[in-house]
Amino acid sequence: MSKNKKVTMSDIAAEAGVSQSTVSLVLNGSTSVKIAEATQQRVLETAEKLGYANRKVAHSLGRPRKIALVINGLNNIDPFIDAVNGAHEEAWANDYVLVTFNYRHDEELAAKIEAEINGGDYQGVIYASSMTRELSNRRVKTALPTVLLNCTLQSESDLPAILPADMVGAYKAVQHLIEQGYKRIAHLTGESWMLATEQRLEGYRQALIDADIMPNSQYIREANWSPKEAHLQTKALLELPNPPEAIFCGSDYMAMGCYHAIAEKG
């Protein structure tokens, strides 16, 4: 990598064959989810090899200076971004401006955001996670009306939550393949610690079982949401003595790697 180019978490994720979410959690020392020791080590070694500088910005104890991030539309590549767009549109349709905060596991920044929300002219809060998961607690606390997006809270189970239908979506995708006459169906999964991975895998298994097809562990490969890893795992699937007839990918990014591997095989 060029010495003039600043190394990003995306660079580390691509090199290590993991998602950017995993890189963020590891480098920020988050304990909110359990990540395999081997994966953590691989991320740290990759970050060191690429020369990633993880510097904490010092903040004053007084009221922070503010910079507004104004975006003319967000690209809907990620379903989570699509959800954020929807929140912005619905808020504006009802004469509200949606203000977005991201503290990225920085406790000092989270405290500043908490003070801003509780001291400002806010009518409610959408507390969101970019990855579907159960949170042990809410870091930014407020008494304002709150809705959870893409997450649940152990400590506040009564809060309304908007969650993706990961299991149902996976079930329908695999059911469609079965209806086309395929029986040997493989699955490229995301990282095993993610709730989305667990639920999509469950939907995949259930669709096969309901069609009297026994799930085959050889056809289930962890590809870490990474096109690079999906490419490698698809090549391995295609080299099996009895390769799959179809492959269900847990994300569009993994499908890209899968397509390339299939094209290389002709």
Q: The tokens 């079930």 sit on which residue?
A: 171
Q: Which residues contact 63 (CB under 8 A, 6 or more apart)?
A: none
Cα 88 from chain centroid (whole Å)? 20
Decide: 200 and 167 in contact? Cβ < 8 Å.
Answer: yes
Fold of 166-264: Rossmann fold (3.40.50)
pLDDT in tens, 180-201: 999 999 999 999 888 899 999 9
Token pair of 223, please? 């590809």
Would you say residue 36 has pLDDT above 90?
no
d(CA 221, CA 190): 9
**Mean pLDDT of the residues in the chain:** 86
d(CA 106, CA 96): 27
Would you say residue 232 has pLDDT above 90?
yes
Q: Which of helix, strand or coil describes residue 249?
A: strand
Token pair of 18, please? 């993991």
Q: Which residues contact 239 (CB under 8 A, 6 or more apart)?
A: none
Decide: 11 and 27 in contact? Cβ < 8 Å.
Answer: no
Decide: 80 and 130 in contact? Cβ < 8 Å.
Answer: yes
Does the reported pTM lie above 0.85? no
- The residues spanned by each domain of the chain are 9-50, 79-162, 166-264
